[in-house]
Amino acid sequence: MLAFLQVIGILSLLSAISVLIIGLVRHFFPSVDELIPDSFKKALTVQASVYYAAIGAVLIIVPYLLQR
């Protein structure tokens, strides 16, 4: 079960990196913004990537704390 949480944490960190790249491209190249559907625009921001990274870090750290 603890390994499962760590796997979810790693996947969350990978998605955070992907969303960060997309968010930075949207920030520096505004012409790309029209290619992204409106329903995805809020989830593909730099702020959302920070949330994904925080969740991933917590899910990786918690199993280590529970084992002690």
Identify the pLDDT of residue 10: 96
Residues 6+ apart with CB under 8 A from 52: 12, 13, 15, 16, 19
- Buried-state track 49-68, b at ≥16 Cβ within 10 A, e below 16: beebbebbeebbeeeeeeee
Q: Tens place of pLDDT for every residue, the chain, 68 residues? A: 889 999 999 999 999 999 999 999 999 999 998 988 888 888 888 999 999 999 999 999 998 898 87
Identify the pLDDT of residue 40: 84
Identify the pLDDT of residue 7: 94
Contact 48, 23 (CB under 8 A): yes
Q: What is the pTM of this model?
A: 0.83
Of 62, 61, 36, 64, nearest to 48 by C-alpha is: 36
